[in-house]
Structure formats: C-alpha cells, structure tokens
Copies of this chain bind each other. A is one copy, B any other.
Amino acid sequence: MSWENNVRKVEPYVAGEQPKQKDIIKLNTNECPYPPAPGVAECAKQMCTDNLRLYPDMNAQKLVDALASYYHVKPEQVFVGVGSDDVLAMSFLTFFNSDKPILFPDITYSFYDVWAELFRIPYHQCPLDEAFQIRKEDYMVPNGGVILANPNAPTGVPESMEVLEEIIRANSDVVVIIDEAYVDFGGESVLPLLEKYDNLLVVQTFSKSRAMAGMRIGFAIGNEKLIGYLQDAKFSFNSYTINMPTIEMGVEAVKDDAYFKEITGKIVATRERVKKEMTQLGFTFTDSKTNFLFATHKNVPAQQIFAALKENGIYVRYWNKPRIDNYLRITIGTDEQMDAMLHFLRQYLK
C-alpha cells in the first residue's frame, strides 16, 4: 500500500489567468483599476519592520475594531480572514456539518462546490431562472445550509432584499451565508437584517472595492454567537492568519471612506457608460450591480470575441460552461482601459 491511498484528492478551483506580461489590459479577475487609499502607501513607508519579529495580534483587533465601527456593529460580530475565500472556507468547515445538502445556484462563484467537495459536504445546485435570478422556492426545502452570492457572480445580478429575507427566515435551522464580495458597486447589503436573524452570516472583501486584492483581507459579520463558533474553528486551524502589515494597512483602507466612495463611484459611472457604448455594438447585459459586466453579443459567439480580445492583449473572462458559454465577464477598468477595449471592439465587430 502507498501513502497515496490516504490522500484527500481534489479538483482544485481554477482562478482567472494571471498573465506575466506587463503591457496587457487586464479585465479578467475583477481587480480594482485604482490604487488603495493613500494612507496605505504612507503606512508601508512608515512600517516598523523590526516588529515583524513578534507574532501579530492574533485577533487583528485594530482591523476588527475599524470594521466594527465602519459597519456599526460590535467587534464581537466581526471575523477577519485571508481574503473572503479564507472566510468562506472556514465558514463551510464550521457551519455546514449536516447530512442534508447545502444549497446554492447552478451558476455562481465556482468555489462553492470546490469547498463542498474538499470538506465532503453534500450539496445541491439549484438552477437559476432564465433571467439568472434565483427561484426562492428552491431554498424552502430541507437543507444543511444556504450560500448565495449577492450580487451574484459571474452574472452580476442582484436579488431583492425581500427574497433574501424570505430565504433567511425560512432557514432558521441552518446558517445562511450571503457572499457580498461585489456589494459596494450599487448593490444592497443584507447587513441590516442581522438584527432580526441570528442564522445570517454576511461576507465581504477588500479585494474589489477597497483595491487590496494583493493584501488578502476578507471579513464576515454576524451575530456574536455565530462569529464565536467561527473564531473557535479558525483558532483550531491557524491562530495567526492576519500578518502585521495587513492589520496596519487594512485599517488605513477602512478609515478613508471618502476615497472608497470616490473609486467605487467612478467604477459604477464607467460601468454604465461602457454598457451604453457596448449596447450600440450589439451587446446585451444583465443589470450588473458589480465591478464587471456580463455581456453577450447578438451575432458573434462570446468565445470568439474572448479569443480576439486576448490576441490583442485585452484579457476578459470566459467560461465554456452550460448556460453561460455565450457570455463574457468584463471587469470595469479605468476609462482609458475601457476605451481601448471599445476601440478594438468597434473595429472587430464592423
């Protein structure tokens, strides 16, 4: 017998391509086109690296406090992780331990089924309707937990607060996770529902709207008991996950609300402008409330446009998967980047 028999073999998540070339227009992994808040740069310059010899604060208390204050919750309601993927992975491990399947849409963030497979959690994928909206009755059946991205990815489609609240209320016997990675671009957060529902966990990230994908910061907000269980599991996995620079630079990002509003506002404005211009080129869209567009063209197959863009140094995201194989997911970049893409598309589609 070989040691390989005891290996947990998995099909890992495939992230968007990260090309090494420098001169491309990178609209494929939903990064922010603007730098982090100015305080972050200042913080790096002034960093007392001698302190790196010491363990960081294992509670990342300064960062937790900054988030609690920003979102008007208690520090005990905030959990911080190494990107929202870390927060979600720990949440799957902590909360989804039923024999019944957890529920999520057939088209959504493609990490959900990967975590379910990794932790051997039974799951069922509920088909979205033709408009890529969830059918709420799908989530009114016995289950081991629910996870919904809102707005959803890669479709960009938001659900109404009413539908989400109905689902959270109907599932008081399990944890309902609302993954709000993209909520800061015109979406509506379920955070106010935390006062009414103790089975709700809201997950957000610094990777998109706070321009810090490279720093790996995600967080969850929920009632104290729920966050307590998540902390216990996390401290049983790795006590010190958030390093010292992350705590300090993360705080700077949260503090600068004016900058946050400025860049998210700019991205929303660019999104709506690009949408109009692409409509004139024969594209149609979902009503994205995120930092990306989910676009399909009336004549030219998405895969073909994807390849042509890539050949010209413009990277967007394409999945050869049922139901979405004629769509492109296009991250909103700077106005200049989007104009370069539009310029190419105008020529290409002529």
> Which residues does A use to contact B, with CB under 8 Å?
1-13, 15, 18, 26, 29, 31-36, 40-41, 44-45, 47, 49-58, 82-83, 85-86, 89, 93-98, 114-115, 117-118, 144-145, 172-175, 198-199, 207, 211-216, 225-226, 229, 231-246, 249
Contact = CB atoms under 8 A, between A and B. Distances in A.
5 contacts: A8-B233, A15-B239, A18-B58, A32-B53, A53-B214
Contact of A236 (B10, B199, B207): B10
B118 A10 contact: no
B6 A97 contact: yes
A297 B272 CA distance: 74
Given A33-B53, A51-B214, 12 more contacts: A3-B173, A3-B199, A3-B226, A6-B145, A7-B94, A7-B95, A12-B233, A12-B234, A13-B236, A85-B237, A115-B236, A213-B240
A218 to B, nearest CB: 9
A187 to B, nearest CB: 20
Contact of A8 (B94, B214, B215): B94
Given A95-B6, A236-B118, A52 B211 contact: yes
Nearest to A263: B53
B207 A55 contact: yes
Contacts of A56: 213-214, 216
Contacts of A89: 237-238
A303 to B, nearest CB: 24
A171 to B, nearest CB: 8
List 9 tightest A-B contacts by C-beta distance, closest first: A12-B235, A214-B244, A35-B50, A52-B214, A53-B211, A41-B49, A118-B236, A10-B236, A85-B238
Nearest to A253: B52
B3 A95 contact: yes
Q: Which of A40, A82, A145, A216 gathers the greatest number of chain B CB atoms within 10 Å?
A: A216
Contact of A35 (B36, B49, B234): B49
Q: Which of A53, A145, A173 gathers the greatest number of chain B CB atoms within 10 Å?
A: A53
B6 A175 contact: yes
A253 to B, nearest CB: 9
Given A18-B57, A241-B216, A243-B246, A9 B211 contact: no
